[in-house]
Amino acid sequence: MNQRELFLRHVAQTSDAPLALEIVRAEGSRLYDRSGKEYIDLIGGISVANTGHRHPKVIQAIHEQLDAYLHIMVYGEFIESPQVRYAKLLTDHLPPSLSMVYFTNSGAEAVEGAMKLAKRVTGRSRIIAFKQSYHGSTQGALSVIGSEYWRNAFRPLLPDIFHLDYGSMEALEEITEQTACVLAETIQAEAGIIAPSKEWMLALKKRCVQTGTLLILDEIQVAFGRTGSLWGFGQFGIVPDILLLGKALGGGMPLGAFIADRPLMMSLTEQPVLGHITTFGGHPVSCAAGMAALHVLLEEKLMDTVGEKEKLFQSLLVHPAISSIRSCGLWLAVQFDSFETNKRVIDACIADGVLSDWFLFAADCLRISPPLNISEEEIRTACEVIVRSI
């Protein structure tokens, strides 16, 4: 059997129509399949490859850590330099109240840990999330996902979860003294790049403070320069009680984190001890890779170019079939009249060497979230392909 047949037979599938591209190499903003065909990557591993695929400094950091050690002990027991150094680097670039990092394996695990922390700190059980939100696919994360289509088949899920309209001022009245936490994406990702107003974000934070509710902001896709700033919440003038990270956090390696103030995080150390544990969370190779990627992001000033590249995409993606383009930095949702139209465009793009896909809750929108160091020439070529594919 060939690789495709083995893939379909032995690798658990997530849909009945996977892309099934056999990629054998990736560099920068380019992917290469077994036949040698080249693709401009407009997905970036779903906002993972913010510094490009296999950046030399990330690869060097991985090699150096491989020469030192791999897994040695469950998370939190040994002093592992990559974890310590990366946690320090992250908190150096965060507000003082986000001072302690709990590394996990993924963004979904960060969601799980944050929900546990909120319940532990507040002694409350009620959790508020938002419609059309996406936070992961584990049981707890699925409970707060903002779509009944995905939730319904796996009930019963966590109790005491309520979903409100994202961006609605009236909905904020549902946050009360019985609410443990509000879990929100700073900018909704899978809804097709939906940004709230600054006034709503300020009102959300104010309501949480008034009711003693912890505000958890999910920046798993937002953070690390995707919108033109290191973190998304700073654009709204607020600071969350708990910050969720993943995706680009690991520089291409699996890594997630929830970050909070030290007094909050220390509640997981007693009654019971080991209130939250993980074997591989904060794997030393992942932390080394992630730290190198963050240094690249800062030193190469990749965020400084995001705004101009966003404008370039906007200026080149002009066609009567495009009904709208929503964007926040190098993160765009190109909207068509239907999923069927969008899917035909995506398939034609892939055939012509440009890789994209759609959004879970906005299937009529084509996703653009390339590496931040994509070149202007690559953007022009990709846009030509998209318009030609339409």
Location of structure tokens 């190779």: 285
Tell me the C-alpha distance between 131 and 165, whole Å.
Answer: 6
Rounded CA gap, 80 and 120, in Å? Answer: 27
pLDDT of residue 256: 98
Q: Where are the domains of the chain?
A: 3-53+301-389, 57-299
Angle at 47 between CA 285 and CA 312, to 5 degrees: 135
Tell me whether strands 38-41 and 256-260 are parallel, antiparallel or unpaired.
Answer: unpaired
Residue 1 has what pLDDT? 81
Extract the residue ranges of the chain whose pLDDT is less than 70.
none
Cβ distance 160 to 208 under 8 Å?
A: no
Query: Is the CB of residue 212 less than 8 Å from the CB of residue 199?
Result: no
The answer to whether the beta carbons of residues 316 and 380 sit under 8 Å apart is yes
pLDDT of residue 14: 84
Task: Please state, in angstroms and rounded to a whole number, the distance separating the CA atoms of residues 195 and 232.
Answer: 10
Domains 3-53+301-389 and 57-299 share a fold: no
Q: What pLDDT, on the 0 to 100 scale, is given for residue 4?
A: 87
Cα separation, 227 vs 310, whole angstroms: 9
| pLDDT for position 97 | 97
CA distance to 29, 30, 124, per residue, from 305 (Å): 15, 19, 44
Q: Domain 3-53+301-389: give its CATH superfamily.
A: Aspartate Aminotransferase, domain 1 (3.90.1150.10)
Separation CA 59–CA 296 (nearest Å): 12
Six-digit token pair at 209? 């403070």
- Tens-digit pLDDT profile for residues 225-248: 999 999 999 999 999 999 999 999
Q: What pLDDT is recorded for position 118?
A: 98
Look up tokens 């993943």; give the residue. Answer: 246
The three-state DSSP-derived secondary structure of the chain is CCHHHHHHHHCCCCCCCCCCCCEEEEEECEEEECCCCEEEECCHHHHCCCCCECCHHHHHHHHHHHHHCCCCCCCCCCCCHHHHHHHHHHHHCCCCCCCEEEEECCHHHHHHHHHHHHHHHHCCCEEEEECCCCCCCCHHHHHHCCCHHHHHHHCCCCCCEEEECCCCCHHHHHCCCCEEEEEEECCECCCCCECCCHHHHHHHHHHHHHHCCEEEEECCCCCCCCCCCCCCHHHHCCCCCEEEECHHHHECECCEEEEECHHHHHHHHCCCCCCCCCCCCCCHHHHHHHHHHHHHHHHCCHHHHHHHHHHHHHHHCCCCCCCEEEECCCCEEEECCCHHHHHHHHHHHHHCCEECCEECCEEEEEEECCCCCCCHHHHHHHHHHHHHHC
pLDDT at 31: 98
To the nearest 10 degrees (0 to 180), the angle between helices 306-316 and 376-389 is 30
pLDDT at 59: 98
What is the CATH code of the structural domain delimited by 57-299? 3.40.640.10
Return the sign of the alpha-carbon dihedral for residues 148, 153, 158, 159: positive
